[in-house]
Amino acid sequence: MALGLSSILLGVLGTSLTRAVTPVVAREVDAEGDECRGHPGWWTATVVGTVGLGVVGVVLGLAAAPISVVLAPGLARTDDGTLVLLVRVVLLATVLIAATDLLAGLAHGHGVFRWVALQGIPFNLVMIAAAGLLGPRYGVAALAWGFVVGSLLRMLLQLWPAWRQRWRLATRIDLRSPGWREIAAMVPALMLGQAVVNVSTIVDRAVASTVQEGAVSAIFLGWRLTNLPETLVVAALMAPLYPAMGAAAGRPRELRALLHRGTGVTLTILVPVVAALAVVPDRVVALAFGRGSFDEEAVAMTATAVVWFLPALLAVGWRHVVVSASYAVGDTRGPVAIGVVAMVVNVVGDLALAPVLGVRGIVLATSVSMLLAAVLTSWYVADRHRLLDVARARGQVVRALVTGLAAGLAAAAAAEVLTGSPDLLVVPVVGLAALGGQQAVLHLARFPERRVAGEVATLLMRRR
């Protein structure tokens, strides 16, 4: 719950600035060639963003007690001060994370992705050490402090490529630079969009805190597990794709091709994952979390969340690509307006379905809102900017459904054969069976997605 407040703060300002600076830097690099002449717009955004986050963080830290009541009304009644402490500690990391993300945006704009991709390693090592070494003595507070220290190491790692590549970093604020003006024009709508996303998450958790014990954790862990493939693969592919879209903003045909390559790769990667998770969700959850105090009831509740989150996984991956194309041409208002509509659907769904369906109702509301956002955003980008070919997109979705059915049947057959086998054997075999079923149909039907391996390699190797 404490991380939820930090996520709102970072999303509203930090992530919004990062999304705005990346295409601007990419276009400046494309125009400059091999010699970097500095990015005053990026520097201005970094100073304004980090100082602004620091000030807001201090204010929120002072008001942590009443804020914790809003965050989790079901938990605040019995809180012994732990939630207030965690909120204040985690807020310390917001400035560090924002600076890290802005440095990552600078690196992506220059076509450098390696060091950004590695930033999770020191962070997670610190978190694991905090849990294993300090957790038994200091409890959950050890994780909060580990979050702060890990965030500091992430930021320091991102300074290395800037020094190594000898990028010129402006050291003065220039509110009149063209780069900053373009960034500033995009940020308000992006801030609203990020606020909408985070408000939906906060409402999900706040409503879950009133449903039953363990519901907040089931929804949080269920989404983390379901969204892991999107985070590991699709988000990694978007790292080179987004600045490439920014550089191609004035070339609609090239941008359209990049968009469809991104959606095709996304669906092809996620379909077998969805099929495997749909067949053995309880096995996957038990393998990931089923030990210690995480009993059979917790496994069942989290597995329920995983199943109902699966449509949202496909929607998030698809929309991530489409929204990036809209941002690349400087249009943030359309996707944000659609995000507001989706948030309303999610909140109304939470309030209406949670009392009846519990965890399933909350997750169902989230999935429906994300599917709606994906469909409306695709229609908007196709109609407004002609960047999405509707017939081609429809073909991609139909082929994903056909190959998904094959993947699901293959996964179910493998699970049936391995009935009674340990989870450590069942989960990878079912996953491989789903992948095999999908690939068999792709190649037998000669669908264009059979070349996805080459597409992935191309996207990962792309520099501008």
Q: State the Cα–Cα distance between residues 299 and 1, nearest whole angstrom.
A: 20
Q: State the Cα–Cα distance between residues 432 and 273, nearest whole angstrom.
A: 10
pLDDT the model gives residue 76? 61
CA nearest 268: which of 442, 405, 458? 442
pLDDT the model gives residue 234? 73
Q: At what angle do helices 296-328 and 215-229 cross, to 10 degrees?
A: 50
Q: State the Cα–Cα distance between residues 378 and 384, nearest whole angstrom.
A: 10
Per-residue model confidence as pLDDT tens digits over 349-376: 999 998 889 889 999 999 999 999 999 9
Contacts of 8 (CB under 8 A, 6+ apart): 195, 198, 199, 202
What are the extents of the domains in the chain?
Answer: 1-185
Tokens describing residue 423: 């989870």
Per-residue model confidence as pLDDT tens digits over 41-92: 888 888 888 888 888 888 888 887 887 777 777 666 666 778 888 888 988 8
Comparison of pLDDT for 290 and 303, the residue scoring more: 303
Comparison of pLDDT for 165 and 281, the residue scoring more: 281
Half-sphere exposure in the Cβ direction for 119 (13 Å, CA): 26
pLDDT confidence tier of residue 12, bands split at 50, 70 and 90: low
Q: Is 214 exposed, middle or buried (0-12, 13-18, 19+ CB in 10 A)?
A: middle
pLDDT confidence tier of residue 36, bands split at 50, 70 and 90: low
pLDDT the model gives residue 302? 93
DSSP structural state of residue 13: I
Q: Is 40 helix (H, G, I), strand (E, B) or coil?
A: helix
Q: Helical H runs in 230-291?
A: 235-247, 252-279, 281-289
Under 8 Å between Cβ of 157 and 26? no
pLDDT the model gives residue 464? 38
Mean pLDDT, residues 252-274:
89
Contacts of 111 (CB under 8 A, 6+ apart): 29, 240, 243, 463, 464
Per-residue model confidence as pLDDT tens digits over 108-152: 877 777 777 788 889 999 999 999 999 888 888 999 999 999 999
Dihedral of CA atoms 375, 377, 383, 389 in degrees, nearest 10, equals -60
Backbone angles phi, psi at 462, to 5 degrees: -70, 140
Q: Which amino acid is at 115?
A: W
Tokens describing residue 333: 């208002």
The pTM of the full predicted model, rounded to 2 decimals, is 0.72
pLDDT the model gives residue 129? 94
Q: State the Cα–Cα distance between residues 115 and 457, nearest whole angstrom.
A: 18
Q: Is 441 helix (H, G, I), strand (E, B) or coil?
A: helix
Q: Is 263 helix (H, G, I), strand (E, B) or coil?
A: helix
Helix, strand, coil distribution of the chain in percent, nearest 5: 85, 0, 15
Mean pLDDT, residues 417-437:
92
Helical (H) or strand (E) element with 388 = none
